[in-house]
Amino acid sequence: MNIAVSSKEDLITECKKIVKQQGIKGVSIRSLAKEAGISTGAVYNYFPSKNQLLAETIGSIWGEIFHFSSSNLTFTSFSQCLQALFDSIEAGKQLYPHFFTEHALVMSMENEKMGKKLMASYWDHIKESMLLTLRSDQQVRQGVFGPDLTPEEFVEYCFELFLSVMVSEKRSESLLKFVENALY
């Protein structure tokens, strides 16, 4: 048992340890209290429900895996950005085995509305980064975008394909080649 923790951030850190060892399904108010060395009542002071605990834990893990900020957004091409997303997925799978397949199931079972809202916020952040990179990509062939295909639509399509590759374990190289053929 760990030394008792006393902040919300420390509790999230303990939850992430549980996820690494047992998967997201192992996270509960009781398991967190035991791991953190505090009472279940103390956990409820920080997280009023298991749903809130799961949402904040999942949010922290997503933030750790896909942290694209203006300071580290230095991609010279859209395909480089997409490759970085795939690299982040692979690193995340090493840190948190089964997280990508389990977290959606846990949130949808516990609270579908909260889960969808949470996922939308992560996805929007990633898509914004993708769009910013696409718009600044000097290598994109002239005439690729117009009224029939906007950069926003292209990002939406690519993102849907990215999610498909992420969940299905398909080869990322195929999607990267598809994007490069379409843009360059």
pLDDT of residue 70: 44
pLDDT of residue 56: 87
pLDDT of residue 116: 66
Structure tokens at 108: 């949808």
pLDDT of residue 4: 61
Q: Which residues pair with 149 in a beta bridge?
A: 146
Residues of the chain with pLDDT under 70: 1-6, 68-73, 103-116
pLDDT of residue 111: 59
Helix H or strand E segment including 74: none
Gap between the Cα atoms of 177 and 174, Å rounded: 5
